[in-house]
A = this chain, B = another copy of it.
Amino acid sequence: MNKRKATTLKEIAKKLDISISTASRALNNHPDISDATKEKVQQLAEKLHYSPNLFAQGFRTQRSHILGVIVPNIAHYFTSTILKGILEEAETKGYKVIVSESNNNENKQSEMLRTMSQFGVDGILLALSRKTTSVDSILNTLDTVPLVLFDKVSHKIPCTQVVVDEEIAAFNAVEHLINTGKKRIAIIKETENSFNSEKRFAGYLRALKEHHIEVDKKIILSTEDVSLYKGRMMTNILLSLKERPDAIFAITDTAAIGAIKALHKYNIKIPEEIAVVGFSNSIHATIIQPSLTTVDQPGEKIGKTAVTYLIKEIESNKNEITTKTVTVKTHLIVRDSSFKV
């Protein structure tokens, strides 16, 4: 297609009456080349808009300067902010980014890992699909190409993982509720197997324990997918209890919003009767009435650090895989759903 054929090293070399290798080395600032010729070559290259043929280069050096990213759902706001960070950091480091969606389908995820590594990406950034049970294919690509996990991770995979301080974040959220005088705090979480949900649940339990509040299983609700709809259903259940909770900690903003909608329906005052806290600081958080108290996860920062670690791994040509968990700090944003001034 390219209608204007690109200028090559050969043309530059011929015009300057030097060899191709000299031209190549001059552009790569090789110490063997005299400053005079370097100058000449670089100037002519500039003038002719020379840019190396990436395929020839990649072919020769086995380096593509492409990063692969696989996420469950790109249209998820938090994911897209992470992606924003990934794109930005990758660009400044001189890498391009190929993006794929697994749609929370484990097979598709495996397939993508395979095609990406065979495609020749220099490294892969992966947020696991929900319920990734078999890590075999991941371990497989792991010894082919550097891999960094983020957001949705699993300790079964020995590689660098970038996550948020889930447990602490949840602890802080619940402690905040306790500090506002709440004593009977329900939680809406995911049914096991989710790294994030488990951590958040652990934070919830620790907060209760440290404040000597006993755990009541009746107000610990689990669901397969924490959606808005499920948030409503779960709060309906909570409202039907003899002993209603006085606060709801939802593992996710959408569920929290579902909870708020359910509470609205029964004309329950938020936060006076029942307070609500979410997790993610989604864009909805300030749209909903009352505005939602939630923990802010710095998506862009997660993306950037994930890229940083991945590139570090790529560029240190060590073949050993580093397994290390990087934790990014969150902070609680208190809004009207939990505390009114």
Contact = CB atoms under 8 A, between A and B. Distances in A.
Copies of the polypeptide in the assembly: 2
B77 A77 contact: yes
Given A74-B83, A144-B4, A98 B100 contact: no
Nearest to A117: B2
Contact of A54 (B53, B120, B314): B120
Interface stretch (A58-66, A187-195, A326-334): A58-66
Interface in A73-131: 74-75, 77, 80-81, 83-84, 87-88, 91, 96-101, 117-120, 122
A66 to B, nearest CB: 8
Interface stretch (A31-39, A175-183, A243-251, A284-292): A284-292
A149 interface: no
A6 B117 CA distance: 11
Contacts of A146: 1
* Chain A facing B: main interface SS: mixed
Interface string A302-340: 000000000000100101000000000000000000000
Interface of A: 1-4, 6, 51, 53-56, 58-59, 62, 64, 66, 74-75, 77, 80-81, 83-84, 87-88, 91, 96-101, 117-120, 122, 143-146, 257, 264, 283-284, 287-289, 314, 317, 319
21 contacts: A1-B145, A1-B314, A1-B319, A2-B62, A2-B144, A53-B120, A55-B58, A55-B120, A75-B81, A84-B101, A87-B99, A87-B100, A96-B100, A97-B98, A97-B99, A98-B98, A99-B99, A283-B284, A284-B284, A287-B287, A289-B289
